[in-house]
Chain A
Amino acid sequence: DIQMTQSPSSLSASVGDRVTITCRASQNINNYLNWYQQKPGKAPKLLIYAASSLQSGVPSRFSGSGSGTDFTLTISSLQPEDFATYYCQQSYSTLWTFGQGTKVEIK
């Protein structure tokens, strides 16, 4: 199985801050990497697919980059509604896997 490791596991930030979350795959996954946002009690929401493509309807302050094994999700200016948990997920192998999540909290 391909293991996905996110860092940090949690972070505290203020509204307006630039936030970066990283995700590392245990082997090459090309660009088969998606990012999701989840709020408590809700289903995950797709933000970024194929490493850097913005899902329709998602604000442009969200962006993704990377290829191979190392990937990044960036929120350019954190908004109050962005406080949530973020997950990366690979769709390269037969068995898809998620990272352990990064919780973004209010400082």
Chain B
Amino acid sequence: EVQLVESGGGLVQPGGSLKLSCAASGFTFSGSTIHWVRQASGKGLEWVGRIRGKAINYVTAYVPSVKGRFSISRDDSKNTAYLQMNSLKTEDTAVYYCTRHDDYGDQKFDYWGQGILVTVSS
């Protein structure tokens, strides 16, 4: 069974930091690109960024609103990806999902985590 499980969310003050984890199982993690997508309450989906797999040299990309503040990494030995969030702003408050696409297949988000809430507030 395929699973993506996010953890590490919670309440943080503006300007603070938080690190989310995404633990994967049931598929070839090293051959997958891991993405982070967020959704503010009552709003639509926003793609945050991604980290490619080993074959594509773990290249990262980010939406402009988080570039320079957020960083995505991965540990293929643990089948886990991470989203390091620094200099957090109130507008970063959202449910964060990890998702993936197969580096050797179609570019589609076929598996998703359940989501984790990040609240940035004083």
Contacts and interface: CB of A to CB of B under 8 A. Distances in A.
Interface string B34-74: 01010000001111001000000000011110000000000
Contacts, number: 58
Contacts of A91: 101, 107-108
Contact of B106 (A43, A50, A89): A50
Given A53-B106, A91-B107, A98 B63 contact: no
B108 A46 contact: yes
Given A95-B61, A95-B63, A44 B109 contact: yes
A46 B44 contact: no
B45 A46 contact: no
Label chain A's interface by main secondary structure. Answer: loop
Q: Which of A38, A45, A49, A101 has the most CB of B within 10 A?
A: A49
Given A43-B97, A94-B61, A87 B44 contact: yes
A91 B113 CA distance: 19
19 contacts: A1-B64, A38-B45, A43-B99, A43-B115, A49-B108, A49-B110, A50-B106, A50-B108, A55-B110, A87-B45, A89-B47, A91-B107, A91-B108, A94-B61, A95-B63, A98-B45, A98-B46, A100-B44, A101-B44
